[in-house]
Chain A
């Protein structure tokens, strides 16, 4: 009896073993393409840049690794204003994005009804055009003597912004304001999308519950909606702030020599001055600075569970 009972399971056993083994390796196999990609296009370039940043020499005689860390200090002491400016512009753009994006994301998540998809498409639509073309369009929008500048001038807004140092004379183009506007515009969708996803996930019954528990709509927003949307706020601000800090296109097209950001410096060091060690050192300082700021920010906002 026992032998009869045992016989059938033994036969199919060897057939079921191999797939289980293959199953165990599947996750790693799936990781391979991504890891290869990261290795070739991220890890290797980073190592290469790290070595470049500590090289000395010249274009004619060739470069050599001499562990010349002074490049970092020299780069920082020469270009710190651009660093400060980058952080300032990126932070302003992030705040503006949050102020513009939050109400819109809130509207899409809770009030849009059947218009929700249409508004979402409108938010994403700019991506169908090139980043460069969109930024160039802003050049036209903010052009001297154009309708926007004319209107701002008539309303005496330009007097205020000029007093604050955001604009120069009766121009908007080639001023800090133009650069920040360009950054805000270009990174706005990166703010709206994570905000929308985290707002949309909030159970509308929580609003009703708060209302039922004596919280007027403004209190409900402060005590329930906003805290629950924090993951979206954090990821939205990071997705805006990080690329905005390193951006150089907006400063290049909409700014002037007085609005150069660190991205512009790196770009010209690499492509025009051909001082590769300084360019690489600047890149590393930027990377470290952003990492540091982001870590501090995430600690402070207490959001371990991003998104």
Chain B
């Protein structure tokens, strides 16, 4: 047996065990992308760097065998910077989008590509469920949203963006009820002041999560500006009422016609476990409620919406005047996270923000690669459909125009997880030029070489499992690519091991086709 110290903790391991494994025994998970349980160490990604406490030297823990008396530090400022830098270098050549650019552009970060896939497959109920995770009012927003998502859509480079907004409206219109069962009430009560899009959304998500929510508004009916400012031919009142109905039906208690002043506000604060202010453009009255404010509105943290008053959060136009209802709706969703965190004694941080790889503009030469997962149809003419909406057939057809820019392995990508954990920036070491993306399909998997981080797991695995062709490193240095020998197809290269290899890929370079 060998004795060593991991972060000062004494550990005993068998002879021949790597430092990475010894750390694991000490309960420390050292990050690595190229290490694979089945294939062992390879020393490629260099993220498993740890420090020899005796001389301060960094070494890759996956490949160093534990020796008697070794003392290892697995995390400190320098090691964190090393891993961050390593990740940033990998990201600088990782060409691919984690979330689709549409999802990133959407102020509510709705999973648009997945919605499109569900619509295309005719799974409308599931589509609604997905949409409602992020957007409480899809039928409403489907009529009034200026659709920043469509501006970012890669399909624009091909012909015209996908009619995302109309598709969302279709999903909202197609189903009458909200698709979720609220959690049982947990005994905590939250007040939401202002029943516009922000307040409605916040109420919805809090109620769903078991917080008894009381929604106040000075008007008799909920809806705020949605009810007063938008022409009926664009947003018919019955659509608005119906969609608000799905929110209230979760158990939100609406108290209309209530004018709130400073003292009433403080009464509310004292009565509830948390309060959300969503009163729209900041009225002078509210400046007296005790918040720190700026010329634009109430000052609040941009992720957690925490204000200067304890237990009070602020969202929507009270922060800053905006014509984007979707932003307010998104903030309503996000503040529900904060409030829940606050009420369970955590520091409110808002909705977890995951790392997103982005490559920017699609090159002309890449269009054909992206069209491999799409159809060449033109966009439905949305001007004429502005009022009528899409038929089922139109919706399915339009949804199929989506290029599916989002990554299949988004839920299962070590690179993304670690990039988020180490706060890595993809832009810091951005190169002068990027290579052209390609996509290679087999019957079961997809290979996207420019997402590859050259960890060699697939090369080692196809060799281990005696693939006839397998994958090989081709070339060397920065220009090395992983490919199939003799220009054989990926199908031929991974004849036996495709799914196994795809699952072992630490990022989205190789992914199982139907994983999303």
Binding between chains A and B: no
A residues near B, CB below 8 A?
none
B residues near A, CB below 8 A?
none
